[in-house]
Amino acid sequence: MRATRGAKTLDDVHANVKAALAKQREGSFVQKILTELEQYFAEVVPVIREIKFSTKLELGDGLNMIDLEGVQQGTQALVIASCVDYIMENLRDTIVVIPEAWQFIPEERGSPVKLAVENMIRQGAKIGNYVWLDSQQLTGVDMDILRNVDLWLFGRQTLDLEKDRVAHAIPGRIVRADMVHQLKVGHFYLSHYAAKGERDVRLVYVRPEWLPEDIAIAIAQGRMSTEATKRYKDEIDKAREADDMVYKEELEQATEKIGKLNEALADAGSQMRELARAKNDEIDRLKKELERATKAETNLRAGWDRTGKELDKARDDLRAAKAVVREAPEIAERAIESMGLEPLNMDKLARDVAALLGSKEYHLNVEVGVPQLNLRERVVEVNASTEDNTGRFALLVAEGFLDSARTIPDLQKEFRQRGWGSWSGGAGKMNMLNLAIKFATWGFTRVDGETVVLVPGSKKRIIKESR
Q: Taking the model in full, what pTM does it have?
A: 0.46
Among residues 141, 172, 138, which one has the least CA distance to residue 155?
138
Q: Are residues 250 and 335 in the same domain?
A: yes
At 17-33, the pLDDT tens digits run 888 888 888 888 888 88
At 324-337, the pLDDT tens digits run 656 666 665 665 56
Instruction: Give the integer Cα–Cα distance in Å for 273 and 295.
Output: 32
Where are the strands (E) in 66-167, listed by range? 95-98, 130-133, 152-154
What CATH code is carried by the domain that includes residue 172? 3.40.50
DSSP annotation of 121 reads H
Instruction: Give the integer Cα–Cα distance in Å for 128 and 110.
Output: 27
Q: Are residues 55 and 140 in the same domain?
A: yes
Least confident of 303-307, 338-342, 450-454: 338-342
Residues forming beta bridges with residue 187, ordered by sequence position: 205
pLDDT tier for residue 453 given thresholds of 50, 70 and 90: very high
pLDDT tier for residue 341 given thresholds of 50, 70 and 90: low
Q: Are residues 221 and 244 in the same domain?
A: no
pLDDT at residue 440 above 80?
yes
Instruction: Give the integer Cα–Cα distance in Å for 337 and 315.
Output: 33
Q: Are residues 62 and 37 in the same domain?
A: yes
At 118-175, the pLDDT tens digits run 899 989 989 999 999 988 877 888 888 888 888 888 889 888 888 888 888 887 778 8
Please, which residues have CB within 8 angstroms of residue 150's CB and are 6 or more apart in sequence?
192, 193
Instruction: Give the integer Cα–Cα distance in Å for 32 and 26.
Output: 9
> How many alpha carbons fall within 13 Å on the CB side of residue 306?
5
Instruction: Give the integer Cα–Cα distance in Å for 340 and 110.
Output: 142
At 81-129, the pLDDT tens digits run 889 999 999 999 999 999 888 888 888 787 889 889 989 998 998 999 9
Q: Are residues 441 and 292 in the same domain?
A: no
What CATH code is carried by the domain that includes residue 448? 1.10.10
Distances in whole angstroms, Cα of residue 107 to Cα of each of 101, 118, 144, 327: 10, 13, 8, 134
Q: How many domains does the chain have?
A: 3
pLDDT of residue 220: 84
pLDDT of residue 455: 93
Range(s) of the domain holding residue 259: 233-357
What angle in degrees, to the nearest 10, is found between the helix axes of 425-441 and 408-417? Answer: 100
At 295-327, the pLDDT tens digits run 888 887 887 777 778 778 877 877 776 676 566
Name all contacts of 374-378 with Cβ < 8 Å and 24+ positions apart: 375/311, 375/314
pLDDT tier for residue 255 given thresholds of 50, 70 and 90: confident
